[in-house]
Each structure stands twice: as structure tokens, then as C-alpha cells.
Structure 1
Amino acid sequence: MNMEEHHSSLVVESSYPDLVINVGKVTLGERNRKKLQKIQREQEKAKVLKAACALLNSGGGVIQLEMANNDEHPVEMGLDLEESLRTLILSSNLQAFFKTKQQGRCYYIFVKSWSSDTFPEDSSFTPRICSLSSSLCRRSGTSVLPMDSREAFRFLKTKKINAKILGKEPLGKKPFGKVVKVIHQDLRNSNPTYQVFQKDQLEYGEIVPFPESQFMEFKQFSTKNIQEYVKNIIPRYIPAFANTEGGYLCIGVDDGSKKVLGCAKEKVDRDSLKKKIENTIYKLPCVHFCQSQCQIDFTVKILDVLAEGELYGYACVIGVKPFCGALFSEAPCSWMVKDKDICKLATQEWVGMVMDTDPDSTWLCKDFESQLSLSSGPPLSRPVYSKKGLEHKKDLQRLLFPVLPGHLKYIPESLWKELSSQNEGLEELINRQIHSFSQGILILSRSWAVDLNLEEKQAVICDALLIAWDSPPILYTILREQDADEQSYCTSTAFTLKQKLVNMGGYSGNLCVISKVLHLRPESNAESSEGAASPIDYPRSYYFANTQQMEALLQSLVIVLLGFRSFLSDQLGCEVLNLLTAKQYEIFSKNLRKNKELFIHGLPGSGKTIMAVKIMEKIRNMFHCEANEILYICENQPLRKFISDKKICHAVTRKTFMKDDFQKIQHIIVDEAQNFRSEDGDWYGKAKTITQRDKDCPGILWIFLDYFQTNHVECSGLPALSAQYPREELTRVVRNAHQIAEYLQSVLQEVRKNPPPNIPPGSLQMLLEADWAQGVQGTLNTKDNLTLNEIVTHVADTCKRLFERGYSPKDVAVLVSTTKDVECYKQELLRAMRKIKVVRFTNASDMSGDHIVLDSVRRFSGLERNIVFGIHPETVEPALLHNILVCLASRANQQLHILWLRDV
């Protein structure tokens, strides 16, 4: 049985609310392990290490072993297992990541998630994942030294920096040339290596006049299968030379006597030997850091070996130059659990995870505050940011999930009162479960599954998450009566919560979530169960010992519940999360079954489109919907395309909505509704009819709007303001930098004082409640009385400076008054931008590419960019000028340039 076959016996158990890997039988105890044959000892150790590596990289979990020995008393793990685990975590402190416990014949190894902040003194040199082997090696003197994962991380980091410095001229770009070319060219004439390999033949038995060195390795041909032998030694020596300073592998010279022995010609064909060597080198895994993606630079030379003037056989010399990237002997040995399968990471994937860092962006660091950094997060976590001036995760935690000394608080109180009044016996049931806990928080939800983006189970009355002192987290699922699928629901929800708290929320402590099902009988006869699987008794280190630990977990919970994929992700080219505000989360947490219709009025930059996306995700999970059963309606094609690309709904414009029939649609989300028109019919009436087709269970109809950004004077088709009920308001402006926000406030006041005739004046009073996030400095630049040439020159010069500072075309939008103006300005802008190499304009329907958006203010509604140029934002309706300016200014996150054309 080979090692991989032996590993296949590992099983990821599905009946626990944790990652549990069953490795089967393992012999434990130092005496017992010493009695094992070496091959069995190594096989057992290998499967334990594989499971440990997979769990460390996947958020932590439990290794379950069945003791193969028959000891009646508890035994230790065994020194060889302990030492291997220490090597895996690059630390002598085994307790930092592993705890053990024996329960009968079961032995458990509790594994905490890998996190570099466990080594704060050396975190900058600690890779983001752990590995059994990096499969990277280097040359040191006459030795080949394997790199552990920490050394590999430093090596890769240096290679990446060097490639960045060298740009398109990395080391090793020039062709290797003849094998006679040595590493140090200035020593060519005096170096005996050069003199020997200048030859095409060697004499059998002659002594090579130089020893092995940093640049030279001698090997003799195996007496068995020659090609197989060469295939096996190349991955050991060629990567080591390539990863260091280059060198030669000479096969056919005895490394002790330095005699040329070669290989008898009867045992090998020289052409097939050369081809086998070349193919073996080409198959070595490699990773590039340079733009040129240069290949491994090597040369193979087959030398004739003569005996008394006759051909005896052949020797072989392989010369390799330093490689600009990293050359591996094989794929790195690192494991991860993916969809309940234990998977080995591919080379490129491994390097990407080892080298993963926070986005390198000056403006991001300036405008946003890090809530979770990759340098301190578990392997699967992503960076999390909040806009400066908004609540930190600590503030949100203390606001939403406070832990009060000496109190056990039920949150949210309104939901607790509602559930208690609706379900007789519920209060007694829950109090009986938690009466022994004196400090902590019980977080109730109608469905924790929906909160975690899982499908709702309608038989569930509610779920309650207990975070309490001297206890691990406990997730209670309360049902009215027994259900065949109850335990799998509770287990799945608890499992997802645990994984998200670590892999999304960044919690790096010991963590489990215990799942418990409770039944509420009509006669208040409550009973509970913990499922068919025997519960694992977690060590005391998994229990909360103080308030700080509880708050740290709850801050991770804030990220899980309030985190959303930021629009910055597309700009930065990596996954970034932002956090909802407390008010956004309050609206998002509403019971959709009781809030089927809702109007959300939001000031510019208050996050309406983000909320629309989040609500559609919640609808999908709560009502078990497919994407084609949820309809998103907006006015403009660019916003429709932007939402459609997220593949969470069927997105259309209002015009398409009025033309087509939507038989499959159950739920509708309307965005930017202030810009809708009634010219094609009663869109609101049609939407209401569709969502109320099922009288017993009407669908969701949520409408997002902002009267301040109204861009026409026609009838919008919205019901009267008094009929827009129930209604919520988003008054916290979170998008714009301080200078832009100040300008926006002044323009909004002008709209409030002199609204267009189609805007209900009462709708604009919400401006009095506005709250502007402070802390982000930006740029506001308004220029009047410019010529066309001065305008395009300003845009070109500003873009050139911005791109030199690290911004990219995807940060910039140039907005004009109408779609007709786009073509008028495009050619002039292209002419002015010839000084910038990257010159490409596209309209707002293509937001994802690395180009400057050029479009009208109206078509850019609902979208955003860091830098916005507004060129002569005029309107044929004077009453709408300030509304257009509001729409223009609110699109800019950091810099706003408004350039007015001189009157002709």
C-alpha cells in the first residue's frame, strides 16, 4: 500500500457541527509506537499529519482516532507524533494549536485554526498557511537543503520583490547558451570546469580536476533503470541550483573518487536519455513573478566516454541558470478541506495563499480603516475594511451585542418579547436551558440559517446563540415538535457558523459551536436532544474564560453578519469585505414575512444598492428561491448590467419590465425608483400585482429611492408620499470624502429649498436628520469658464498624476450631461490623453475592465468611482440642475472635479 492509498482512509465526518476528520486506527503511547515496524509507524504518522495540516488550513477542527493498542489506562500520543506536529507548526509550543483528550477507545486531537498572530514576534515571516513540505530546496555548499514553509515564504517574498525591481529584465532572461558557459564569466579562462566541459568526450577512468562545490554536483549512473534513475534525481538537484545561483549536475562521475565512469552504451540510448531529461525538467512545477514568464534556462549535453579510443558509453551534464521565479521538485505538500473532501493544493494555489497580503493601495489605507488584516487572520479569511468615520467592529459589537458584567442579556429584546408572547412555554424552556449562566448574551433569530446565507427551515420557531462565560458557544434550535431533519439542520447551521466565525470573521482562538435541538410541546412539555452523533467533549480551553474572549468572538460575529463583498473588490482585483452600518443592519434584519412591502428612502451615498443586493440574497435563502424568481428593476442599463453580473437575480430596466411578462417572478426589488417614469404604464401597479399573485403568501416588494437624485420632471409612477408605508430612512452618508460631502450638503440644501415640481416636499425633510461620516480627506476641484481644450487638458494631466501615484483607469469616471455629449468629448479626450499609455474609454455598462468610464451623469446613477470628472453638467430643465449636481457629486468617493465650459 503506498502512502496516498493509505491517506484515502481519512474521512470527513458530517454528523458534527465541526470539521471532524476520522483517521481510523492509530497506535498511541511511546512504548507501543516503538514496537511498530517503521513502515506502519510512518503510515500512521503521515495520515495524522495530513489531517492536522488540512484542519489548520481550513479553520480548525478535530482529528478523531481509534486506538489500535489495547491499553486500559490513558496513554500519551507518542514522541514521534508530537515532534512531527511541532515541525508542522514551526514551533515547539504544541499547545498553541493542539489539545488532546481520550474518551474510551476514542482519542481526539483538537486543532485550532492556523494564524500567524500566534507568533507575534515573528508574524512578518510566518506564511499564511502551513505545509508538510514546501517542495522548495536550495544549494548550500555541496548540499541540497529543503526549505521549511517559513524559509520558503522568505524565499518567495524575496523573489517577488526582485522581480518587481527588475521589471521585465529578470535574472536568467538571456539564453543559457552552451553548457560550457560558467556562472562566473570573469573566471572562465582559469576555471577548470570550463576547460573540462568544453570537450565533447571524456576518457573512462580519468579524474575530473575539480571537486563538488556550490555549483557542481557529481552523480554516478544507477546500475538499474538508467532513465528512471535520472528522472528521480533531477527534481532534487536542478531546482536547488535554479533557486540559488545556478550550477551543473554531472551524471557519470563518481562523487568520491571523481573518476569518469559513465554508463555503458548498451544500457542507454543517448537521444532518448536527453529527451527524458528535458521532459523531466519541463514538468517541474514552477511559479513566475516576472512579467516575461521566462522559461527555465538549462542545457543538456551528452558526452562520449571513451576507453582506449573506443566508445564505451556516455556521461551527461545538465547546466541550469538561476531562475527568476521559484522551481519546485514537486507540488508542495499542503492540504485543505473543500466541500468535505481533503484536497491537496496545486502549486500556484499554494504560492498564492502563502504570499497572500492585504491590498497594496495608498488610497485604501488613507480612506479606510482595517477591521481584519490578512497578516493576523486565518488562511481563508479576506481583508475587511470600513470607511473612516464609521463605527469600528468594536463599536458595532458593543452597540449590537453588548456583554454586560454580571448580566445575561437577551438580544434583540423586541424579538424576544414577540417570540415569548407568540409561543407559550418558550420563555420557560429557554430559561431552563441557560439558568446556570450568569454572564453573556443570548442572540435570538427567527432563523440563524438565513442569517448565514443558508436555506430556512420553516418548522423552526427560532434559533438562539448563547455566548456565555464558562461555556463554549451553544446554538439552540427550537421546534414545536420533532422533525425528521431537525438535527441535520441544527448541525449544519452550527457548523456554518463556526466556519464563518473563523474563516470570514477572523476569530483565531479555540472555537467550537455546540448544537442543541429543543422541542416545544403545545402543553409546554419541553424536551431536548443533541442528535444521533455522540457529542465531543471539548477541552476547557474552548470555554470562554473572560469578557475579552467573548467580545473578540462577537466582533468576528459582527463581520459575519454585517460583512458584504465590497465594490472595491473589482477595483483592487482581490476579495475585500466592508461592513454595514448599524441602521443598514437594522433594516436588513427585518422579518421579511412581516415586511412584504417596504419603501426605503436613502440619502445619496447611504448604501441603498448594497442593501438591495443583501436583501435579494436573504430572500433567496429565506424563501428557497432561484435567481430567476427574484426580479431587480432599475432605470438604466449600466446599473442593470452591474447587478446582473452578480447572478443573484433577474435584472431588467423599467422599460423591459413594462414590455414583458414575468410569470416565474415571486419577489421584486426596485432601485433608484425616483427616476422611474409612468410613460409606459403603471409600473408600481404591475409590480404589486405580480408580488401579490399568491394571496395566501404574497411576495416581497421593496422599493429603494432618493428624491434628491431625481433627474426628470415627469411623473415617476410612485404612490403618493403618504401611501409609501411602511417606510424606512437611511440618513447616514458613508460614501464620500469630507470635501465632497461638504459640497454635497450645500447642493442638497438647494434641492430642499427649491425642489422640482414632481418631488413631494415632505420627502426632503429627511435631510435634517442627515449624519455625515467624517475622517476621509478628499479633493473637490471646481473650475469655471474653461475652453474645451482646457477641460480635456485638465482631465489628462490629472489622470497622468493619479496613475503615477498608483491609481488605475478603473478608478476614474468622466461624466457629461447627455449621451450625445459622450461622442463630442471622446475624440478630444483621446487626443489629450496621448501622453498616457493606457488610453481607453468605455461606457458605464462595462464597469469591471481596467479603463476610464465615459458616460452621462444619468446613466451612471447607482454606480460609483473613486475619481469623478463632471464636464459641464447642464440640463434642459433649470429646476433639475441641483439634482443633477447631487447625482454627479454623490458618485465620487475621493476626488470630484467639476469643469464648466465657457459660454460661447
Structure 2
Amino acid sequence: MEKHYSRLAIKSSYSDLVINVGKVTLGESNRKKLQKVQREKEKAKVIQAACALLNSGGGVIQLEMANNDENLVEMGLDLEEALRTLILFSNLQAFFKTKQQGKCYYIFVKSWSTDAFPEDISVKPRICSLSSSLYCRSGTSVFLMDSGKAFSFLKTKKTNAKSSGKEPFGEISKVIHPDLHDVDPTYCVLQKDHFEHGEVMPFPESQFIEFKQFATKHIEQYTKDTILEYIPAFANTEGGYLVIGVDDKSRKVRGCAKENVDRDSLKKKIEEAIQKLSCVHFCQCQCQIDFTVKILDVLDKGELYGYACVIGVKRFCGAVFSGVPSSWMVKDKEVCSLTTEEWLSMMMDTDPDLRQLCKDFESQLSLSNSPPQSRPVYSKKGLEHKKDLQQRLFPVTPGCLKYTPESLQKELFLQNEGLEELIHRQIEPFSQGILILSTSWAVDLNLEEKPGVICDALLIAQNSPPILYTVLREQDAEGQSYCTRVAFTLKQKLVNMGGYTENLCITTKVLHLSPESSAESSAGSGSVIDYPSSYHLADTQQMEALLQSLVVVLLGFRSLLSDQLCCEVLNLLTAKQYKIFSKNLRKSKELFIHGLPGSGKTIMAIKIMEKIRNTFHCKTNEILYICENKPLKNFIRDKDICQAVTRKSFMKYDFTHIQHIIIDEAQNFRAEDGDWYRKAKTITQRDTDCPRILWIFLDYFQTSHVECIGLPALSAQYPREELTRVVRNAGQIAGYLQRVLQRVRKNPPRNIPHEPLKMCLEAKWAWDVQGTLNIKKNLTLNAIVMHVADTCKLLFERGYSPKDVAVLVSTARDVEKYRQELVKAMRKKGIVCLTNASDVGGDHMVLDSVRRFSGLERNIVFGIHPTTMKAAILYNILVCLASRANQQLHILWQRDV
């Protein structure tokens, strides 16, 4: 559906969304003097801008005062009432603050969020709307539902569809013409072939009957407009009849003179108008509006005088819209309208139904009280909550203003003479809060780094709005625009991603360290607007709430659950993951990351490649990701953030264009095709003047062979970081993993060093997560495949899908051995969806080897093992297998044949 863009101008030189609506007359007495057309035109601009900002994280409406009052003036009652209607007659101050500065008048708009509504308002829609375009019938009247009533109406329809066992689809379609067969008290009269002119209808208007006269001019357009209001209203309520050609006061038939209308054309226009109505279905049957149109002759003393029209419509199972709902958002700095599909999706947006699939997760950020564009955030039970992460990473100490991270503070002050004094001078007026330093806040927010920036610093302090400082090596004409752009992005993310619901602005200040320039610049254009004091952080509670939103912004990543739930869901990095991720890449060109099974190494690899791209302004094909297996390569390739290859391909071809290399699952590499580590190091050390990245992720516990790996000696793996918190596996699986890890530590294969295996003694597990561990031994091949088939059938009946399941065998040659028998058993159960791990993103079960599934995961894993497996790597293979399972692990041992 085509979008409509507003002519309202977004001011791009601010660190906030600022919409200039042009000239508006302010003051009650001044507005009363305006002609109605002009007054409504001005009001429409203000309301549209307010709606767009409410739905887009908040911002500022800038009005240029059309009147010449030099004194402070009020907004005007009609504007205030319109704004109050927009927020469902809630407290105006909950969402809007106003301020006059000279000839400019500002309306400060807070983001729409349901927690801003009073507790006694039971219906709290997810977004703000000017009009829902949903009509309903009440008695003899038709009402346009406001966004609150529309939300309640749609929610009821959706709930009724679910309770009847029909899942909602929410799909927009067009109605077509069926026949109407309902019989009610009015049926006989309305099924007559003709009316007499002046005849009195024997029944009054009611919930089910509406009388309307024909217009004297523009008959077909008037009829169409009447249909757009009354037919959806009847369909959305209990059904009924619209009778056109009858006076609603006297109930007398008047009709429309035959000279003024063509009978066939009128019927065709009416049917076309109804067929063009947009409908949303909440059931699988995709039923259509059940209506009929009948044109009746109106006779006067036996002669044809004209025509009347009877339109009957049944109650619709879904919702019928009279047009596109009127709701606005800011997208790419354009004010644009929402389509019906977008409006419905946002209006009905709720937290995903976790139930069985995600019962092991807990909510960090719920949609029930978050801004319209927020996404739900979950973490595994037993991991740190965003509040714990905030207190650990960004603590607010009473009566103290502290720097973080301390290591970066010392490094920056040591390497940049005068920087400490410059920053101290800026924060001296503040007594409590935290100054968060970064080599580039742009990179932290997934923007490109700007050359010449020494550092950025975000000040969160009491009795002040947040302040973003950018320190430049020397004066730069683009320094302020950079700082403003970063502050703008941060503000938007804190609200729309981090879920912050209070008043928020971020002021900016650009500082210069160069002795040739002035010590500092004045506040930039992002701070020209003088925000009300309510935008200052009043106390520790407000500071911590904002910092918890910052935790979501900085530590949030797209969860693998998103694909399973078919909606965007975020997870959070652990504190240790974040500390590794936030390293200065120019100071950490080479790094070895040893991580226990399920500690999130692949997620870290993805995140660090995104950071590399923004830090070094790289193209996708200049970052190389290397792993051992094709399925993991394909999984990363589909992220479109790098070039992904297997080790064999890496050794086979030249990669002269590559700037940076990330290696994952390195413990499974082999030296059979040459020294892969030397080649990678050579590529990343070609140009000593240009920092290039080589980060290697590995886990010796998951080494699945006894050949030479090709990694340098442990003493040469420096610098080195360790990830010891296991974030993937349920408690029972974690307990099994813990036992097997100890077996590997005590008796490792000959090709891996002993020292890194002590990591398992420091492991931390999410024991709160409940799962299933099922180990069966001495099974025949037939018993194994029947167990898998029976269990899968039961799981699918409980709501799991094929994409939740992986069946893993010990070696690649075992795959075909089990495939044929497994497919037969599955078909008997009505399950025909089995593929290998190369298509891991598809909606099907995976059957592959443990080695080829390295780096991937599924909720439910079946592991099939022969007792003849090599003893040297038996426990390593079991570690690999168990670490792939999130919720359920079934280990099936085949007896000796």
C-alpha cells in the first residue's frame, strides 16, 4: 500500500527529533478570530506532528508564532483539546510540555508509552492514532472508535478467534459479493419489490436499521460516503440494514427521482464501494463480508417515481475499516503515514507467547509498558538482569561522580596531555553521576567512526540532562554535526530500543584539545532549544533507569529465538562478553578468546565484525570469517556482514583484498592443507601502519579430532581472554556437560594443551533453567529411529516445530546410514521434513554429524552414537553434542552389531 508523506519539515541540525510545523496563531483570543478553515488547518499540522513524535520516541514541535504578541501566550483551547483527545483525554502534562522562546513556541513531546496513562484507564493501546477508521453501531448512532476503543475491539476479536480454535492471521483482503439470507422482523418489508412514495416504514430506526435520505446533489458520491461509515459500523457490531431513500424523522419513503440517478449504475457503485473496504481477518477461514444490495422502485400513484436502496450486511468475524487508519511516524527523518497493515501490526503488538518454547527465559523489557518501536528483551534465567548489569558496568554512587571504564580513562589521560584537565573542567559542576568514556560512541551505536576524535564521553549526572562530549584533536567544522548525529542516535535508541519512558533529551558539547584552537567550543546546535527542567535527571532512581536502558542499547543483540518466534526478540550480552566486545580494536589487533561450550563465542564473533566494519569503515568483502564447516559458514554468510569461507577454501585461494579476519571454532581446524594461522597472520600484518584485526575464537573441549590443529603454542596465544559463563544450556544439560568436561580435563586428546582445560573449574551455569536429559543405551538401530520419531511426534503436538530439532550422529559417514531408516520411521508418523545442517535456517529437522553442526544450536537435540567410537575423543564429541542443545538432550547409544 502506498505511503503518504507529510510536508512537515524535520530539522536535521538537532540532537532530537524536531518538527517545524511553520506559522501557527497562538493565544485563545487570537485563535477565535481566525476563520474556521485556517484554524483547522493549523490544528491539523500540530496534531499530525504530535502523533508522529508520540509514535517515534518523542521530540519537539517547533511553531513559528503567526501573531505579534511579545508577551507570553497560551497555546489555545482548541489546540489543547486536540492534543488531549490524541492521548485519550489523559493528563496533558504526562506527554506534553510547552515553552515560548521569542517568536518560537515549542511543544516538548514525550514518547507514547502505556505506563504514562493513569491506572484507572484500562484500555491502553500500543500506539497513538488520529483516527482508527473503525466504526461501530451503538443504538441508532454510529461512532468512530478512538484508538483505545479500537484496541479493545481488536483485542476482543483476536481473543474470540483464538478461543474458537482459529489462529489469527491479521491479513488485509478485499471483500466480494455473496448473498444475504438472514430473516428478521424487517425482512419481509425490505424484500418487497417496490415502495410507495410517502409510505411510512412500519418500524423505527434501531440498532439494526438506519434510514438515510438521498442527497440532492452528487448522489453517487454521497451514497459512497454513507456506505464507508455505516456498512463497516454494522459489520463491526451485529449487522443490519442501511435503507437509503427514507426520511429518518418521519420514516416516510422519499426515494430518489429517476431523472437524477441510473438504477444499474447506482447498484454497481454501491457494490464496488463495499468490495473496496479493507478487512482484517482473525481466523483461518478468511471469510468475506456477507452483504446484499437491492434497488427498489418507488411508485407514485402506480407510476415509477424513482428508486430506494436497501443494503443488508451480516456481522463480520473480523474487523472492517472505512479507510486507512490515520496514524503517523517519523521514518528516515520523514513524517509518513502508516499503512493499514503497519498500523494493525503495531496496535496489536504484544510480547511473544513464550510458553513451552521460551519458558526458560525471563523478561528484561516487556512491550506492555514500552514505547511503540521497542522490541521485547529476554535473558536466560539465572543470568544477570539488566539492573544487575547496570550496577556492575555503570554504577551510580551516592555523592560521587566516577569515570568508567577506569582502564580507558587511564589510557586516554596518559596518551593525551591536557585531556584530564579539560574533562575535569567540564564535569566540575556536577556532584553525582557517571561519565562513560569511549574511543567512539558512534561505533558503540553501530555508526561509522569519525577520524580525529580522541574520545566521546557521556555524562549521566543528577540535576542535568545527559550530555555527550566529543573531544577532537583539533578544530573541525564537522565536529558538531558528528556529535549531534551520535547524540540523536543515542536518544532514539535509549527510547525505541532501551525502552526509556521518561522525558529525555541529550545535549551536546564539542571540545578541542589542540593548543592552537580555543580550549572548548560553545554548546552546539543540539542544545539551542532550552528544554524544561523536567528533562533533567532528578535523582538516583532516574539515572539508574536511564542507565538500564543504556545496558539494553549496548548489550542487546538479535536473539536466535527471533527466527523461531517470527518476531524480533533481543537478548543481552553478559558483562564479560561486553567487556571483551568494548575493547579498543586499535589496541587489540590480535586476540585469542577461549570460551567454554555455550558461552556465546559465535554471537561475539558476529558482534565484533559489526564493530570492525564501523571502526575501520570496511566493506563487507573486506572482513573475512573463517570456520571449519559449511553449515556454520552458510549461517554467518546469511548475516551479510562479512565474507565467510571454510578453512579449506581459505587455504585454497588468495585473499589480497581482505583487511580483517575473524576465526571461529578454531579447535576443529587442521594443518593438513598448510599453516592456516601463518597465512591469516600474514594477511593481517601486511601493512604495519594500518591496524588490522585477527581475532580467534576456540574451545579446546570441543576438539573433535586428534590431528594437528595448527594453532600456535599456548604461550604464544597472547593476549588471551576467557569466557566461562555458559549461557545456552538448560540446567540438566549443563550438569551433564559439567561432568563430561571433567572427563576431558582429566584425560584430554594428545593434540590439545592441558592448561586451558582448567577453565571448566571456573564455569558458571544457569541452573535455574529447567530442561530434559535422556540417555538410553544398548539400543538397536530400529529402536533408535522409532524413539526419535515417537518423541518428535509428541513434541510437535505440544507446539514445537521441526526447526527446533536436530538429530546428530558421530561422523559424516553415519548420516546416510541413519537417514534412510529415520525417514521411513518419520513418514509413518506423518513427519516428512529432514535436511542437513547446510540449510539450518529452514523450517525442518536437521540430520547431520556432530562435527558439521559445530557452532550451531537447536532447542532439542538427539545424539546417536555407536559404541565403537574412538575412545580418545569420545568425551570431546559428547561435549560438542551436549553443547548444541538448549532445552532437551537425548543421547541414544547403539549396541554393538
Q: State the TM bucket, normalised to the shorter chain.
A: over 0.9
Seen in structure 2, the aligned counterparts of structure 1 residues 897 and 124 have a Cα distance that, compared at 3 Å, is: farther
Seen in structure 2, the aligned counterparts of structure 1 residues 275 and 779 have a Cα distance that, compared at 3 Å, is: same
Give the distance between the partners of 2:745 and 2:53, measured in 1 at CA: 57
Give the distance between the partners of 1:214 and 1:863, measured in 2 at CA: 59
Whether 1:26 aligns to 2:24 is yes
| Residue 455 (structure 2) aligned to one of 462, 465, 486 | 462
Partner of 1:13: 11
Kept in 2, the 8 Å contact 1:816–1:857? The answer is yes
Seen in structure 2, the aligned counterparts of structure 1 residues 293 and 596 have a Cα distance that, compared at 3 Å, is: same
Q: Secondary structure at the residue paired with 2:541?
A: helix
Whether 1:895 aligns to 2:888 is yes
Give the distance between the partners of 1:522 and 1:173, measured in 2 at CA: 69
| Residue 586 (structure 2) aligned to one of 587, 590, 593 | 593
Q: Give the letter for the 1:59 counterpart.
A: G
Q: TM-score, normalised by structure 1?
A: 0.95
Kept in 2, the 8 Å contact 1:875–1:881? The answer is no
Q: Give the letter for the 1:99 counterpart.
A: K
| Residue 551 (structure 2) aligned to one of 558, 562, 568 | 558
Seen in structure 2, the aligned counterparts of structure 1 residues 174 and 280 have a Cα distance that, compared at 3 Å, is: closer
Kept in 2, the 8 Å contact 1:424–1:522? The answer is no
Whether 1:395 aligns to 2:395 is no
Partner of 1:213: 206
Q: Deviations over 1:162-200 (max 9, x none)?
A: 122334599999998644x33xx4xx4xx2x21123333
Q: Give the letter for the 2:37 counterpart.
A: I
Instruction: Spell out the pairing of 1:477-492 with structure 2 (5 A cutoff).
Output: 477-492=470-485
Give the distance between the partners of 1:175 and 1:499, measured in 2 at CA: 43
Partner of 1:344: 337
Partner of 1:75: 73
Seen in structure 2, the aligned counterparts of structure 1 residues 675 and 431 have a Cα distance that, compared at 3 Å, is: same
Partner of 1:421: 414
Q: Secondary structure at the residue paired with 2:295?
A: strand
Structure 1 stretch 280-289 or stretch 626-635: which is displaced more? Answer: 280-289
Partner of 1:501: 494
The runs of 5 or more residues in structure 1 that have no matched partner are none
Instruction: State the 1:592 CA deviation.
Output: 0.5
Give the distance between the partners of 1:209 and 1:445, measured in 2 at CA: 80
| Residue 436 (structure 1) aligned to one of 429, 437, 441 | 429
Partner of 1:159: 157
Seen in structure 2, the aligned counterparts of structure 1 residues 506 and 873 have a Cα distance that, compared at 3 Å, is: farther
Kept in 2, the 8 Å contact 1:98–1:112? The answer is yes
Give the distance between the partners of 1:418 and 1:607, measured in 2 at CA: 28
Partner of 1:582: 575
Give the distance between the partners of 1:88 and 1:328, measured in 2 at CA: 20
Question: Percent of pairs identical after alignment?
Answer: 78
Partner of 1:406: 399
| Residue 60 (structure 2) aligned to one of 59, 62, 85 | 62
Instruction: State the 1:410 CA deviation.
Output: 0.8
Give the distance between the partners of 2:147 and 2:262, measured in 1 at CA: 40
Kept in 2, the 8 Å contact 1:362–1:806? The answer is no
Give the distance between the partners of 1:161 and 1:822, measured in 2 at CA: 45
Give the distance between the partners of 1:385 and 1:244, measured in 2 at CA: 38
Partner of 1:85: 83
Instruction: State the 1:660 CA deviation.
Output: 2.2
Partner of 1:384: 377
Whether 1:298 aligns to 2:291 is yes
Whether 1:664 aligns to 2:662 is no
Partner of 2:318: 325
Count of aligned pairs between the two proteins: 892
Q: Deviations over 1:28-49 (max 9, x none)?
A: 1111111111111111111111
Seen in structure 2, the aligned counterparts of structure 1 residues 215 and 824 have a Cα distance that, compared at 3 Å, is: farther
Q: Secondary structure at the residue paired with 1:854?
A: strand
Kept in 1, the 8 Å contact 2:866–2:894? The answer is no
Q: Give the letter for the 2:422 counterpart.
A: L
Give the distance between the partners of 1:301 and 1:391, measured in 2 at CA: 66
Give the distance between the partners of 1:487 and 1:362, measured in 2 at CA: 48
Give the distance between the partners of 1:432 and 1:524, measured in 2 at CA: 17
Kept in 1, the 8 Å contact 2:175–2:289? The answer is no
Instruction: State the 1:835 CA deviation.
Output: 6.5
Kept in 1, the 8 Å contact 2:175–2:275? The answer is no
Q: Give the letter for the 2:55 counterpart.
A: N
Instruction: Spell out the pairing of 1:311-322 with structure 2 (5 A cutoff).
Output: 311-322=304-315
Whether 1:701 aligns to 2:694 is yes
Instruction: State the 1:837 CA deviation.
Output: 4.9
Give the distance between the partners of 1:54 and 1:600, measured in 2 at CA: 45
Partner of 1:104: 102
Partner of 1:771: 764
Instruction: State the 1:829 CA deviation.
Output: 3.1
Partner of 2:812: 819
Structure 1 stretch 440-449 or stretch 681-690: which is displaced more? Answer: 681-690
Q: Secondary structure at the residue paired with 1:528?
A: strand
Kept in 2, the 8 Å contact 1:298–1:321? The answer is yes
Structure 1 stretch 881-890 or stretch 837-846: which is displaced more? Answer: 837-846
Instruction: State the 1:229 CA deviation.
Output: 1.4
Q: Deviations over 1:250-291 (max 9, x none)?
A: 222222222223223332223322222222112222212111
Q: Give the letter for the 1:500 counterpart.
A: K
Q: Secondary structure at the residue paired with 1:661?
A: coil
Structure 1 stretch 320-329 or stretch 538-547: which is displaced more? Answer: 320-329
Instruction: Spell out the pairing of 1:242-281 with structure 2 (5 A cutoff).
Output: 242-281=235-274
Partner of 1:623: 616
Q: Give the letter for the 1:828 counterpart.
A: E
Structure 1 stretch 757-766 or stretch 394-403: which is displaced more? Answer: 757-766
Seen in structure 2, the aligned counterparts of structure 1 residues 175 and 540 have a Cα distance that, compared at 3 Å, is: closer
Kept in 2, the 8 Å contact 1:167–1:291? The answer is no
Give the distance between the partners of 1:387 and 1:533, measured in 2 at CA: 39
| Residue 666 (structure 2) aligned to one of 666, 673, 681 | 673
Partner of 2:281: 288
Partner of 1:859: 852
Partner of 2:841: 848
Give the distance between the partners of 2:239 and 2:297, measured in 1 at CA: 24
RMSD of Structure 2 on Structure 1 (CA): 2.2
Partner of 1:357: 350
Q: Deviations over 1:330-362 (max 9, x none)?
A: 111111000100011111111111111111011
Kept in 1, the 8 Å contact 2:866–2:896? The answer is no
Kept in 2, the 8 Å contact 1:602–1:731? The answer is yes
Partner of 1:655: 648
Q: Give the letter for the 2:719 counterpart.
A: P
Give the distance between the partners of 2:231 and 2:34, measured in 1 at CA: 36
Instruction: State the 1:795 CA deviation.
Output: 2.0
Q: Deviations over 1:591-623 (max 9, x none)?
A: 101111111111100000000000000001001
Give the distance between the partners of 2:439 and 2:231, measured in 1 at CA: 61
Partner of 2:132: 134
Whether 1:35 aligns to 2:1 is no
Instruction: State the 1:652 CA deviation.
Output: 1.3
Kept in 2, the 8 Å contact 1:380–1:504? The answer is yes
Structure 1 stretch 497-506 or stretch 842-851: which is displaced more? Answer: 842-851
Instruction: State the 1:634 CA deviation.
Output: 0.9
The runs of 5 or more residues in structure 2 that have no matched partner are none
Q: Deviations over 1:32-88 (max 9, x none)?
A: 111111111111111111111111100011111111111121011111111111111
Kept in 2, the 8 Å contact 1:744–1:890? The answer is yes
Q: Give the letter for the 2:225 counterpart.
A: N
Give the distance between the partners of 1:680 and 1:169, measured in 2 at CA: 54
Q: Deviations over 1:416-461 (max 9, x none)?
A: 1111111111111111111110010001001000000000001101
Structure 1 stretch 538-547 or stretch 225-234: which is displaced more? Answer: 225-234
